[in-house]
Amino acid sequence: MASQTEVLKALHEKDGPIKSPDLARGLKTSDDTIRALISKLKKKALVDGDAKEGWYITDAGIKILEAGESIPTTITDVGEDELSKFKYYGQLAGAKPDDIAAASELFQNSDMRIMAEVERVLAETNVPITSRTRWINLYRGYLRNTTPPEIRDELYPLPPTPEARRVPAGEGATGIEEVTRGERLDYIVEGNEVHRVGDSLGEFNFKQALQVVAAKRGSAPKAEADGSLTGTLNAFAEALKSTSPSQPLTVQDVLNIINTMKENSGEGSAPGYVDEDGDWHELKPGQPVILKRSAQSPSTGKTLVIKQTPEGIVTEEHQAGSPIIINANPPPANTAMPATAMPPMMPFPVIGSDGTPVVDRDGHPVYANIEPMLKWLGFQSEQRRADERHQMLMGLGQTVRENLGDGVQALVAAAKEAQGQKKTGASAQETPTTPQIFECGDCKTRFTIPQEDFVQVKCPNPKCGRTWTREEVMKV
Amino acid sequence: MTQFTARTAQHFLAIKAARELKKEIEQAGMENLKLLAENNVSIVGTYLNGCSPKRKAEIKRDLTALLAMGVTSDMILEEVARQMPDLAPIMAGREAYKKSELQNLEGFLKQA
């Protein structure tokens, strides 16, 4: 659909006047549309001419195009019918072109002179509340101006002023009923959001809408018996009553809401206490709270004593007050403990550099297991002794080898022995032999052996009388 | 040719063994050996009994090797007698003693 600007551009591109059918073909639109647009442009003195000679652009039109401006829609561009006025007031209200087009489509299928239908259409198209209110008010004024004065207020009554809304019933003399935002069905719920769709055009009042949203979110506040809300939500709803539904919230309104909520919350924060079961009890004014310190019952925990016995580790329950006897005796030899195993280690406390026992994080003394260290020291001592013994044996062997005679020395010794025997034999013939004296091993009695060969000799002591063989005597 | 070479090798080995034996005999002294022979004391047995086990093993190894190469105890003793003329009067007329000495030496080699 061509616009006034496009028609103006088309005329500016041509040197001479152009007739409406040629413009329609160039802009690919109908002749009626071109004629309507040309008529609007002519009223604004942007084009001039006639249907016979053709149309041409004026100097004012050229200026607008050169300035890059778009041609504004004025009241003169709007038709006198309701739909044209509806669209025009939408533009004046600041609604988006898409919302205007959608509302216009719905508006054509309704009774366009009933205000309820107007509000319904605008609510269904989700026109923002600010532009919607302004749109409704403008259209209401148009309807009132086109209605006879006798029935004007009856058909299209003016909405109450904000001041009149705040006047409670009974106090005002104007007769305007009290209307608050929270009591009329002005709201609908979409998703989890509350939208105000107009006076009595919604499905819920403000409280109910909040309840619906809370129920959808799974955090519905508990309603009291009369249906009113409780807690912070109720305080918020009550605080909103003091504000005007048709005016945006000001800083003062926000402060009033906060103060109202504080006052309301102060009522619910009565003093109380929580008992042992976690239940909360409210305290009345002046009611004392008595704290009782119950006597601590003796510990029912059991003390276990772990003993190392030949049968293994035995755990026994220790009676309170009875002594704990530590049996430090070594286990009997017939236990399964290996022979090389060390006896069980006694606790060996760790002493710090300052001479005080070392304790852990819980304050218990720290004991060290030095058994591996003792085993290592024992192993080192054993190794050292083995090395010394080996060195000693090696030295002894070396000494034996050094002192052990070889074959030559054996020959020399044998020769000396033979030579000695030879000399002894010669001297024996010259000097009488001295008998060799022996001593009895039992009675210590001295005796001699016979010169001739003998098989055995008897101890001369009559009390002993032991018989010694030749081999036994010769061994001595 | 081969037999000649083998006999020459045996001869040189017998000379070498007799030279080693001569050193031992000279250390012991000829008078001592003569005294032992006169008293019918076995020189070979006394010498071997006086040696250390290590020395005994060395002697047995050498004599076994010589015997394997065909150098017998008789050949060594003959060579010793040739190198030590003073020993000849001692051994003269003592065939039984010489035989017993050779038996002692063979018995020593046969020991495990």
* Digit-coded pLDDT (tens) for A12-25: 888 788 888 888 88
CA-based nearest residue in chain A for residue B52: A406
Give the model's confidence band at A379: pLDDT under 50 very low, under 70 low, under 90 confident, else very high: very high
In this predicted structure, the answer to whether residue A365 has a pLDDT above a threshold of 60 is yes
Q: Which residues pair with A368 in a beta bridge?
A: A348
Over chain A, what is the mean pLDDT? 75
Given a contact cutoff of 8 angstroms between Cβ atoms, the answer to whether A88 and A134 are in contact is no
Interface of B with A in 22-81 (CB under 8 A): 24, 27-29, 31-33, 35-36, 39, 41, 43, 46-52, 55
- Start-to-end Cα distance in chain A: 154
Give the per-residue pLDDT at A345: 58
Task: Please give the share of chain A, as a percent, with pLDDT higher than 70.
Answer: 67
User: What's the burial of A393, exposed, middle or buried (CB within 10 Å: 0-12/13-18/19+)?
Assistant: exposed
Q: What is the ipTM of this complex?
A: 0.80
Most confident of A156-165, A212-221, B37-46: B37-46
| Interface test with chain A among B51, B54, B105, by most A beta carbons within 10 Å | B51
In this predicted structure, the answer to whether residue A378 has a pLDDT above a threshold of 90 is yes
Alpha-carbon span A264 to A258, nearest angstrom:
10
In this predicted structure, the answer to whether residue B17 has a pLDDT above a threshold of 90 is no
One-letter amino acid of A47: V
Contacts 24+ apart (CB under 8 A), A243-246: A243/A181, A244/A162, A244/A165, A244/A166, A245/A165, A245/A180, A245/A181, A245/A186, A245/A196, A246/A133, A246/A162, A246/A165
- Is A426 near chain B, with CB under 8 Å? no
Given a contact cutoff of 8 angstroms between Cβ atoms, the answer to whether A449 and A460 are in contact is no
pLDDT, tens digit, for every residue of A409-449?
Answer: 888 888 888 888 777 665 555 544 456 677 888 888 878 77
In this predicted structure, the answer to whether residue A325 has a pLDDT above a threshold of 70 is no
Least confident of A6-10, A128-132, A283-287: A283-287
Q: What is the mean pLDDT of residues A194-222?
A: 74
- What torsion do the CA atoms of A209, A215, A216, A219 make, to the nearest 10 degrees? 120
Least confident of A119-123, A237-241, A462-466, B64-68: A237-241
In this predicted structure, the answer to whether residue A66 has a pLDDT above a threshold of 80 is yes
In this predicted structure, the answer to whether residue B18 has a pLDDT above a threshold of 80 is yes
Closest CA to A14 of A28, A27, A33, A32: A27
Task: Provide CB contacts within 8 A for A231, sequence distance 6+.
Answer: A221, A268
In this predicted structure, the answer to whether residue A72 has a pLDDT above a threshold of 70 is no
Give the per-residue pLDDT at A387: 93
One-letter amino acid of A444: K
**Angle between helices B30-38 and A407-430 in degrees, nearest 10:** 60
pLDDT, tens digit, for every residue of A252-264?
Answer: 666 666 666 666 5
Given an 8 Å threshold on Cβ–Cβ distance, is A412 in contact with B33? no
In this predicted structure, the answer to whether residue A63 has a pLDDT above a threshold of 60 is yes
What is A129-197 written as a DSSP string?
Answer: HHHHHHHHHHHHHHHHHTS-HHHHHHHSPPPPPHHHHHSPTTT-SS-PPP--TTTSS-EEEETTEEEE-
Q: What is the mean pLDDT of residues A95-104?
A: 87
CA count, 13 A, side-chain hemisphere, A262: 6
Give the per-residue pLDDT at A339: 47
Q: Which residues of A330-358 are buried (b: 16+ CB within 10 A; e: fewer)?
A: eeeeeeeeeeeeeeeeeeeeeeeeeeeee
User: What's the burial of A23, exposed, middle or buried (CB within 10 Å: 0-12/13-18/19+)?
Assistant: buried
Give the per-residue pLDDT at A299: 55
Q: CA distances (Å), B10 to each of A73, B82, B85, B109, in order?
A: 147, 16, 22, 19
- Is A423 near chain B, with CB under 8 Å? no
| Interface test with chain A among B30, B33, B39, by most A beta carbons within 10 Å | B39
Predicted model pTM? 0.28
Given a contact cutoff of 8 angstroms between Cβ atoms, the answer to whether A375 and A342 are in contact is yes
Give the per-residue pLDDT at A382: 93
Alpha-carbon span A186 to A198, nearest angstrom:
5
pLDDT, tens digit, for every residue of B25-42?
Answer: 788 888 888 888 888 888
